[in-house]
Amino acid sequence: MDIKSGHSSPVMTDSPQISNSRLTVRQSRLPPYSSATAVSQNNNLLLTVPRKKTGIIDDVKANAWLDAMIASSPTPAIVDKDNISSSDATTDMTYREWTVKYPSALTTFEKIMSVAKGKRIALFLDYDGTLSPIVEEPDAAYMSSDMRTAVQNVAKYFPTAIISGRSRDKVYEFVGLSELYYAGSHGMDIMSPAGESLNHKHLSRTVSINEQGKDVNLFQTASEFLPMIDKVLCSLVESTKDIKGVKVEDNRFCISVHYRNVEEKNWTLVAQCVDDVIRTYPKLRLTYGRKVLEIRPVIDWDKGKAVTFLLESLGLNNCEDVLPIYVGDDRTDEDAFKVLRDGPNHGYGVLVSAMPKVSNAFYSLRDPSEVMEFLKALVTWKRSLG
């Protein structure tokens, strides 16, 4: 993996997960693990992103950014595959046509497994919208007990990682399985299972103690940004507190400002508040998605980089007998899909969506219930091999 890439990243790009509640109270920055060794700084991951003195909002107006906010925030249509009325027939037909290009990973399961035969599968999973349904209240995005069992079973046979835009602590709390790898904050905060290592020839790690008193490895590409992110978070909470419906969410190495419950006439105000806070922080970048603005460190890192890092750490990188599979529903998952489609670690991206989307994925699944069936099928297939 080239960690010295010098190409610039756009100031406003992909979308994080969506949540819809009021303001989140700031939690302590102290991690739940006691660090035994210091994390070294990885300055060679820094990107150079030019910022104009006029500020983001002036640039945004010139580029119709608010129009982009509206365009990127449509009301999602929900297709019930079991109860399709005549009024839904056109939508369903469009979806069926879309699956010609992105076939269902369930109906083509045997084809996928024919490629996987004789290979080691490495499994990567998003959380929200993949293992759990998208919900109005982000703190209530619980996975079902059946889904937890499915993930636990698949992890017995394949190295399995959860890669989420949420903080690592949040997603670990939801999943609650210590045998998995966890990558929070879009891959900027990675933790190994107890007893497993995260050895990498270029990037350093931290050895910490988990809640059970066992050693775990942490890899945090953006640790040096935490004090800055902490200040920005507090400022955003204060500056947006009088805007009805806004929510500022702490995802540790990134901050999400949700405007899903804000009246559209006040969206410009939300954007102005965000710009007023971050315009003096050139090492932070602004990204946007479906009714969310997100502030992230300016580093060359994303979910695709996290997948490559984990494969390299596990000794599965550039191996012809390895088949990585990534299942996710979010625009940020596209970075991982692209890595598996175009990179040396050729594998399959599986997009979870009930609506047609352009994607770098090879296959599709409609919703978390189909994801669970796919995970169960993987286990059954593996057990059948003896």
Per-residue model confidence (pLDDT) at position 135:
80
Assign a CATH topology to domain 223-295.
Alpha-Beta Plaits (3.30.70)
CATH class for the region spanning 106-188+301-383: alpha beta
User: pLDDT at residue 268 above 50?
Assistant: yes
pTM above 0.85, yes or no: no
CB 193 within 8 A of CB 214: no
Q: Please give the backbone phi and psi of residue 109, each rounded to the nearest 5 degrees, phi first.
A: -60, -45
Distances (CA, A) of 149 to 143, 156, 164, 357, 379: 10, 11, 19, 30, 11
Start-to-end Cα distance in the chain: 35
User: pLDDT at residue 87 above 60?
Assistant: no
Per-residue model confidence (pLDDT) at position 294:
85
Per-residue model confidence (pLDDT) at position 40:
37
pLDDT digits (tens, 9 = 90+) for 149-166: 999 999 999 999 999 988
Going by their DSSP bridges, the two strands 181-184 and 160-163 should be labelled as parallel
Domain ranges of the chain: 106-188+301-383, 223-295
Which range (20-29, 74-83, 255-264) has the least confidence? 20-29
User: pLDDT at residue 1 above 70?
Assistant: no
Per-residue model confidence (pLDDT) at position 204:
57
User: Could you give the residue numbers annotated as active site?
Assistant: 126
CA distance 262 to 342: 39
Q: Residues 106-114: what's their mean pLDDT?
A: 97
